Amino acid sequence: MSLLSVRDLTVSFPTSDGVVRAVRGLSFDVEAGQTLGIVGETGSGKSVSALSLLGLNPGADVSGSALFEGKELLALGPEQLRAVRGAEIAMIFQDPLSSLHPYYRVGWQICEAIRTHRRTSRAEAMRQAVELLRLVSIPQPERRVQSFPHELSGGMRQRAMIAMALALRPKLLIADEPTTALDATVQAQLMELLGGMQRELGMAMIVITHDLGLVATVADSVLVMYAGRGAERADYRTIFHSPHHPYTRGLLASIPGAAGSGGRLVPIVGQPPSLIRIPSGCAFHPRCPFAMDVCVRDQPPFVPVSGGEGHLSACWLPPDVVGVDAAADAARQRFVEGRRGPAIARLRAAISGARARGGVAHV
């Protein structure tokens, strides 16, 4: 059984302009000791879904199911959730200053994190805090426990936050954009540290990021999100070498140095959609070069495709067309021919209508 099994998670926020449907039926599993990378752009719902699991989205309507070691997280009361947070599921954020209280010393904060969940003497907790800081390779940890967060450099703060998150040896660590604000060398340090901790503690990780490079480096399996839904899910090799979904395919073509990119980058057209007015059918269809009539009409199911074991994709293209090479694209194209009817014609008309003035095409 999976450590965490999320089914049909839906999160929406009522706002004055309408309901923001941040997550729309997301399902995924995290196995013990494994790393799941969740990739997506701004507004894909990747952070919101993780926060919802821990009840950290006040004001949101959350439905679905999230079983963590057989416990239904979404049914837990605030007190029960608190017992889970930190002790069993810990979370680290992009901005360490958001997790560290500015007016308390780092050591004290780690002590409190430990003592909230475990019956430990203050002295013992402080000893552990020093050990933890040493563990995350903060120099002179005996002195650093006495520091305030602002006295630490960005990388050190991030490490202090990791120390705090790991203090209780959680079974699952959710890292939300853990390295986005950091430099490459510091990022490498942290990922090595997290990787080491994970191996030793047998901890599972969810790494939420927009950075495909990070995912390529650390993830065992990858979930690509688009507009609040899973677009594609597979082991890391399949995602990078045999993707099925045109969005994944497009991401790879638009990143310099990515597995499937050629000389010139090929951007995905347009912008991610508004989560208040989500396009009909497949939410990606207005940006998809392989959009067919069915894509405008019906939302594709998240079903197995042929990239490998456990490869799922939500796309109307045939399940056996995977890959990033010309042959795969040609196969996609062949399938699409003849399946573009009035709906696609309307789409094109709308585009050319908006652009009647003409313009520079960057193709």
The residues in 48-107 that bind another protein, with binding defined as CB under 8 A, are 48, 51, 54, 56-60, 82-83, 85-87, 90-91, 93, 95, 98-101, 104
Kindly tell me which residue out of 34, 266, 308, 335 binds another protein, with binding defined by CB under 8 A: 266
303-304 and 312-313 as β-strands: parallel, antiparallel, unpaired?
antiparallel
The closest of 258, 269, 241 to 328, measured between CA atoms, is 241
Q: Give the SS3 label for residue 299.
A: coil
Of 77 and 264, CB closest to another protein = 264
Closest approach, Cβ 13 to another protein, in A, equals 6
Q: Which stretch binds another protein (CB under 8 A): 28-36, 65-73, 153-161, 314-322?
A: 153-161
297 binds another protein (CB under 8 A): no
335 binds another protein (CB under 8 A): no
Closest approach, Cβ 114 to another protein, in A, equals 8
123 binds another protein (CB under 8 A): no
Closest approach, Cβ 144 to another protein, in A, equals 13
Kindly tell me which residue out of 30, 76, 165, 173 binds another protein, with binding defined by CB under 8 A: 165
Closest approach, Cβ 273 to another protein, in A, equals 6
Q: Which 229-258 positions form the footprint of another protein (CB under 8 A)?
A: 236-237, 240, 249-258
Q: How far is CA 92 from CA 241, 253, 295, 336, in A?
A: 30, 30, 37, 43
The conformation of residue 304, written as its DSSP 8-state character, comes to: E
267 binds another protein (CB under 8 A): yes
The angle formed by the CA atoms of residues 244, 247 and 248, to the nearest 5 degrees, is 60
32 binds another protein (CB under 8 A): no
Closest approach, Cβ 77 to another protein, in A, equals 14
Kindly tell me which residue out of 273, 304, 308, 319 binds another protein, with binding defined by CB under 8 A: 273
Chain centre to alpha carbon of residue 343: 32
Closest approach, Cβ 241 to another protein, in A, equals 8
Of 267 and 310, CB closest to another protein = 267
Alpha carbons within 13 A on the beta-carbon side of 183: 6
206 binds another protein (CB under 8 A): no
Closest approach, Cβ 180 to another protein, in A, equals 10
Kindly tell me which residue out of 64, 107, 141, 155 binds another protein, with binding defined by CB under 8 A: 155
Q: How far is CA 300 from CA 80, 157, 174, 223, 246, in A?
A: 37, 43, 28, 16, 13
Of 230 and 301, CB closest to another protein = 230
Question: Tokens 């951007």 appear where?
Answer: 267
204-209 and 35-39 as β-strands: parallel, antiparallel, unpaired?
parallel
Spatial contact of 68 and 89, defined as CB atoms under 8 Å apart: yes
Q: Give the SS3 label for residue 122.
A: helix
Quote helix, strand, coil % in the chain, to nearest 5: 40, 20, 40
Kindly tell me which residue out of 8, 63, 75, 131 binds another protein, with binding defined by CB under 8 A: 131
Q: How far is CA 276 from CA 11, 104, 159, 359, in A?
A: 12, 40, 37, 29
Closest approach, Cβ 330 to another protein, in A, equals 6
330 binds another protein (CB under 8 A): yes
Spatial contact of 145 and 127, defined as CB atoms under 8 Å apart: no
The site that binds another protein (CB under 8 A) totals a number of residues, namely 142
